[in-house]
Amino acid sequence: MQHALSQELLAFLDASPTCFHAVKNLADRLDEAGFTPLTETEVWELSPGSSYYVERNGSALIAFTIPMGGIHSWRVSASHSDSPTWRVKKLDCAEDKVFAKAETEGYGGMIMPSWLDRPLSVAGRVLVETESGIESRLVHPDRAVACIPNLCIHFNRDLNNGMKYNPQVDLQPIFGAAGGSLRAVLAREAGVKPEEIVDADIVLCTREKAERLGLNGEYFMSGRIDDLECAYTTLWGFLQGRGEEEGRGDVWVMFDNEEVGSSSRQGACGTLFADVLSRMEESLGVTKEQSIRARTNTLLLSADNGHATHPNHPEKSDPANPVVMGGGVLLKTNASQKYTTSGFTGAAFSAICKKAGVPVQTFANRADVPGGSTLGNLLGHQILMPMVDIGLGQLAMHSAMETASCADAEYMAKAVAAYYNTPTSQPKDGEWKLGL
């Protein structure tokens, strides 16, 4: 499992330059596993013991298995598909006497200079006019089509003393010489005429392949590790669920737009999870009381990466809780509840990890450094399930190229597989019964 999972993860990262590609690739994986695709606009006829998945906006994906014998609890893992990048505002290049230029705007809190002076491609979806209406097609030219050139040191002698970047000025890409057409390139990729493209969701993406790193290949580098690493490994664990426990529904969900606040219909603040859960409950004839009891009798995993202690800046991390890459799954805690982990939920997850032989590390921010919200924190506004925030340690989060540990990816997959195969219940508030 070890070598195969690592290689599969790297291949997935390479094949998923955007959230749309990530959804397509993981939906294909669900197809292979025998899951039935659904659409939100159709009538759902769900059968106990059967497995399904549904997309929203082509950028969020949820998979689930209908339990046998009614419902007494849920098992849920959540991650997200998006990463910081640069969104192309429109396909038609701006007028310029020298360069072909298409303006971009930042998506998420990226490390801006990491995008400079490297070969870039574009990827996403184009909306194509057809005889029957509008059709979405994925595009990703397999070549460098753009770059964002730095200002040379001769024009800014203080460049190495700190640079304040203006994204409207300093981070705009060039797509070649004047007269080039990004629309035409994407039309060829989509197999249509340029005038047939009605609109598009296109972003810049790096050209570097995911690659193992280190004297013993213990690390790997790639774009979009946050949070596609968690998305892939939690799905791997979800698919290992044996479904032996009657009355328990298994769910895996990958939201979009986490990097910009999750406040979209396909984000964690949207209704995707709640809508699917309600339709599952309706298919089972679940009463309101049964619904509340089952949701209470649940442990939800909110999986998003965290910061490993930086080798050159250890002072930025909590000195009492250093995070080591390769040291195991992170249990993320925050006194202000930006992370949902409590002693109660953390204890349950730690016990499951111990059963699986997976080491656990505590992640906490310095007391003088505020942390950000996660999927769990936002989901808790509408779905009142006990939750635990977990993740994997990485370096250079939100850089165009990030670094993480091969061993940690394997630890996460094992931990989540154990989670989906461990009977768990709450006989009373503050008490877990674990089938270990």
Q: What is the mean pLDDT of residues 398-406?
A: 98
For residue 146, what is the DSSP state? B
**pLDDT score, position 81:** 98
- What stretches of 88-180 show up as alpha helix (H) in DSSP? none
CA nearest neighbour of 405 among 333, 320, 308: 308
Q: What is the mean pLDDT of residues 35-47?
A: 97
Order across the sheet with 51-56: list the strands.
36-38, 51-56, 60-65, 248-255, 73-80, 299-303, 387-391, 329-332, 360-363
**pLDDT score, position 1:** 42
**pLDDT score, position 381:** 83
- CATH number of the domain at 2-83+223-434, out of 3.40.630.10, 1.10.3720.10, 3.30.310.220, 3.40.50.850? 3.40.630.10
pLDDT at 52 over 90: yes
Residue of higher predicted confidence among 384 and 27:
27
pLDDT at 85 over 90: yes
**pLDDT score, position 436:** 66
- Inter-residue contact 281 to 275 (CB < 8 Å): no
* Residue linked to tokens 């460049």: 159
Q: What is the mean pLDDT of residues 384-403?
A: 96
* Residue linked to tokens 């979209």: 264
Residue extent(s) of CATH 3.40.630.10 domains in the chain: 2-83+223-434
Q: Tell me how far apart the alpha carbons of residues 84 and 120 are, in angstroms, rounded to a whole number.
A: 14
**pLDDT score, position 372:** 73
**pLDDT score, position 2:** 54
pLDDT in tens, 112-158: 999 999 999 999 999 999 989 999 999 999 999 999 999 999 998 88
pLDDT in tens, 303-318: 999 999 999 999 999 9
Q: For residue 173, what are its two tokens?
A: 């890409």
Q: Which long-range contacts (CB under 8 A, 24 or more apart) does 52-57 make?
A: 53/27, 54/276, 55/23, 55/27, 56/265, 56/266, 56/270, 56/272, 57/256, 57/264, 57/265, 57/266
Q: What is the mean pLDDT of residues 64-92?
A: 94
**pLDDT score, position 3:** 64
pLDDT in tens, 203-231: 999 999 999 999 999 999 999 999 999 99
Taking CA atoms, 6 is separated from 12, 135, 204, 234, 335, in Å, by 10, 35, 25, 14, 34
Q: What is the mean pLDDT of residues 79-99?
A: 91
User: Where does 86-206 sit in CATH, by number?
Assistant: 2.30.250.10
Residue extent(s) of CATH 2.30.250.10 domains in the chain: 86-206
pLDDT in tens, 318-340: 999 999 999 999 999 998 888 99
Q: For residue 257, what are its two tokens?
A: 């737009």
pLDDT in tens, 166-210: 999 999 999 999 988 999 999 999 999 999 999 999 999 999 999
Considering the chain, what is the average pLDDT of its residues? 94
For residue 312, count other CB atoms closer than 10 A to its CB.
7
